[in-house]
Amino acid sequence: MLARLEEVDGIDRAETDFGGDYLRLHLRSRETFPIATELLLALGYLAEPTDTSTVTRWYGRDAVGELSRVEAGVIADRVLTRYRTAHALPDETAVALREVLVDELHRCFVTTALTSTPSLSLRTSCAEATRAAALPLIGPESANELAVLMETDMSEDHKASR
């Protein structure tokens, strides 16, 4: 999204806050604002000036990978918590499993093009990637179960837990 906005003539830089709730655009002129607004509306986003004084850090196109890795860790932790309620895992296996889940989710997030609508293909591809990564650690049956938990988690709305 940020890269696409930066392709618009007159937008020098686009940034987002940590939660992805706000977008900050650096425009060369006020005439660019309606063009950016139109693009955001076409993608399904509300676009209007707002007070962002509470935002402490902005993430540009080159830094959003950091946010993707944080999000991957949050999701992996939720899924592993659910998984471990039904499966006893040695601590070293749990640590290794978390590491591969975070790595695979992060890779999936940064390599999959997104739209403004929830993406079934993102959830499916991320669940499959984490299944494949978990397979050598926990075996096929457990890896399949973990993938189902991953896909379910990614389809749920967790905004209230932020």
Q: Is residue 140 pLDDT above 90, yes or no?
A: yes
Q: Which of 132, 80, 72 is nearest to 106 (CA)?
A: 72
Return d(Cα 153, Cα 5) in angstroms, integer.
29
Q: Which of 156, 145, 146 is nearest to 98 (CA)?
A: 146
**What confidence tens digit (pLDDT) does each residue in 119-136 have?**
567 889 999 999 999 999
Question: Using an 8 Å Cβ cutoff, are 150 and 130 in contact?
Answer: yes
Domains of the chain: total: 2
Domain shared by 17 and 33, yes or no: yes
Domain shared by 73 and 53, yes or no: no
pLDDT (0 to 100) of residue 5: 82
Question: Using an 8 Å Cβ cutoff, are 130 and 105 in contact?
Answer: yes
pLDDT (0 to 100) of residue 96: 96
**What confidence tens digit (pLDDT) does each residue in 60-112 have?**
877 777 888 888 999 999 999 999 999 999 999 999 999 999 999 999 887 87
pLDDT (0 to 100) of residue 50: 86
Element housing 25 (H / E): strand 23-27
Return d(Cα 13, Cα 145) in angstroms, integer.
42
Strands 23-27 and 59-60: unpaired
Domain shared by 73 and 37, yes or no: no
Please give the residue range of the domain that contains residue 6: 2-60
Residue 75's Cβ-side half-sphere holds a number of Cα atoms within 13 Å equal to: 30
Domain shared by 74 and 42, yes or no: no
* Residue 120: both structure tokens together: 């079934």
